């Protein structure tokens, strides 16, 4: 199967192309910060991702035993390092995967990492509490093919020649999703960064009931990528690939995926729609891209009941999400009894984000990170990994991820220093209650 590239024409780019264009001036205004990305180009792209070279790094630990072979190039922190850590993260910014003025740009991960440095939320300032995994290998084609059709994977790799010639191509019109000459390799690196965190968190959980939580600061994002191809800014389904990897390599049969991105994670939804061992739960804004994730999409066949979609009315905010967590997420997870929790962490439901119309605050994301970590501790030995998805206002994105880090470290939230309550408006409480009551009835919660 050949990967069909999309002509660079507004009429072929789908509804979200219009949305992106309509919101672009606001997006630029929100993101008026001046980020110097040269550090990232030097640190990640030229050093680690030139051509098809894999990471060449010094081993910093020893491999753990598991039910299948961990990837040969994977390195895991030592037992002592893992025992001391509260948070372990990896960074894959895909500096070569970029389109000028596109919301899903190469500025996103650098903005987060700069904020973590400025707010002293790295190992430089916190010592052994935080580990940054710098020694990981890209995902293999076999890892990707555990979720995606091999014809798509090979087609994308072949399309890199065209991208090299033209500088940039569109590989899906509904995002629009673009590719440059480095997209294939950098997408493998992003997926590999997540798999390395799964390895490390699982290793830590063998010796501790309170292992560090993992957080993959990666792009391109993944939750829209369907098994047959790319979609909605997403190339490979990072969280879905990690779920299959956790099952195959670590014997963690039951995987619970929480997706709090403002858009429905249709790719993850589709990958596991008939799988009884992977529970996918998405709380997203109703009526937004890609138009999927309706109440009655509950799974099929053996997987009926292990997909939960909760479309929330526009204007839903902090109070809504706290209720959703307590009344929907917690009982669903408790009943499912997962072996690991994976999180599609999208920060585009923030009130300042230009691509949707929910009004979460930075404090909402602190609450979610803190409560999900506690839920994992209660249900699955603390095994939990977050994967960056959306978030296109660089300031709210970086502050919200930083406050998520604080939650995972057990620090107090500093959201009040960033959030402005004066810009919030009344949540549609009646429609929210109707939505929550409806999903509870459908799933017998």
Give CA separation, 178 vs 43, 166, 425, 426, in Å: 23, 12, 35, 37
Distance CA 404, CA 8 (A): 37
Enumerate the H helices of 283-393 as residue ranges: 318-324, 330-336, 362-379
Q: Which candidate in 97, 224, 263, 443 is catalytic?
A: 224
In angstroms, how far is the first alpha carbon of the chain from the final one? 43
Enumerate the H helices of 346-426 as residue ranges: 362-379, 394-409
- 184 contact partners, CB below 8 Å, separation of at least 6: 156, 157, 159, 160
Per DSSP, 206 falls in state T
| Token duo for residue 242 | 């990690």
Q: Which neighbouring-strand residues pair with 255?
A: 278, 340
Cis peptide before 168 (omega within 30 of 0): no
* Angle CA 120–123–126, to nearest 5: 60
Distance CA 138, CA 193 (A): 7
| CB-CB contact of 315 with 427 (8 Å) | yes
Bin 120: left if φ > 0, else alpha if -120 < ψ < 50, else beta: left
C-alpha neighbours within 13 Å on the C-beta side of residue 25 = 1
Torsion of CA 57, 61, 65, 71, to 10 degrees: -10
Q: Can you state the angle between helices 14-30 and 394-409, rounded to 10 degrees?
A: 80
Residue in the block written with tokens 């190469």: 106
Give CA separation, 237 vs 143, 155, 227, 372, in Å: 11, 16, 8, 21
Give catalytic status of residue 399 as yes or no: no
Q: Give the active site residues.
A: 224
């Amino acid at each position: 199967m050949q990967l069909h590239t999309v002509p660079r024409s507004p009429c072929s780019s789908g509804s979200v192309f219009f949305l992106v264009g309509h919101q672009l001036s606001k997006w630029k205004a929100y993101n008026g910060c001046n980020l110097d990305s040269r550090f990232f180009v030097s640190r990640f792209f030229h050093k680690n991702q030139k051509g098809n070279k894999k990471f060449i790094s010094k081993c910093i630990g020893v491999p753990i035993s598991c039910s299948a072979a961990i990837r040969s190039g994977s390195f895991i922190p030592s037992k002592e390092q893992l025992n001391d850590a509260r948070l372990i993260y990896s960074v894959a910014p895909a500096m070569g995967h970029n389109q000028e003025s596109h919301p899903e740009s190469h500025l996103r991960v650098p903005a987060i990492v700069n904020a973590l440095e400025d707010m002293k939320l790295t190992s430089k300032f916190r010592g052994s509490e935080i580990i940054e995994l710098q020694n990981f290998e890209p995902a293999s084609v076999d890892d990707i093919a555990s979720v995606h059709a091999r014809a798509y994977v090979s087609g994308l790799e072949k399309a890199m020649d065209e991208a090299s010639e033209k500088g940039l191509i569109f590989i899906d019109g509904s995002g629009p999703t673009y590719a440059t000459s480095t997209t294939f390799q950098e997408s493998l690196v992003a997926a590999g960064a997540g798999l390395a965190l799964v390895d490390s968190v699982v290793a830590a959980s063998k010796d501790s009931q309170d292992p560090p939580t993992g957080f993959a600061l990666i792009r391109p994002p993944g939750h829209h990528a369907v098994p047959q191809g790319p979609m909605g800014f997403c190339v490979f389904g990072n969280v879905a690939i990690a779920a299959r990897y956790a099952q195959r390599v670590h014997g963690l049969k039951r995987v619970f995926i929480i997706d709090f991105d403002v858009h429905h994670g249709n790719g993850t939804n589709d990958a596991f729609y008939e799988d009884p061992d992977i529970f996918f739960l998405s709380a997203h804004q109703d009526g937004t891209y890609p138009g999927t994730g309706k109440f009655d999409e509950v799974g099929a066949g053996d997987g009926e009941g292990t997909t939960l979609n909760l479309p929330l009315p526009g204007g839903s905010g902090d109070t809504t999400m706290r209720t959703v967590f307590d009344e929907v997420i917690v009982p669903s997870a408790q009943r499912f009894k997962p072996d690991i929790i994976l999180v599609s962490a999208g920060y585009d439901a923030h009130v300042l984000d230009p691509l949707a119309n929910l009004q979460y605050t930075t404090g909402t994301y602190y609450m979610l990170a803190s409560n999900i970590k506690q839920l994992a501790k209660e249900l699955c030995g603390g095994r939990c990994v977050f994967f960056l998805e959306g978030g296109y206002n660089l300031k709210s994105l970086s502050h919200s991820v930083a406050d998520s880090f604080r939650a995972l470290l057990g620090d107090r939230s500093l959201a009040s220093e960033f959030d402005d309550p004066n810009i919030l408006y009344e949540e549609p409480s009646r429609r929210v209650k109707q939505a929550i009551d409806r999903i509870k009835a459908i799933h017998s919660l």
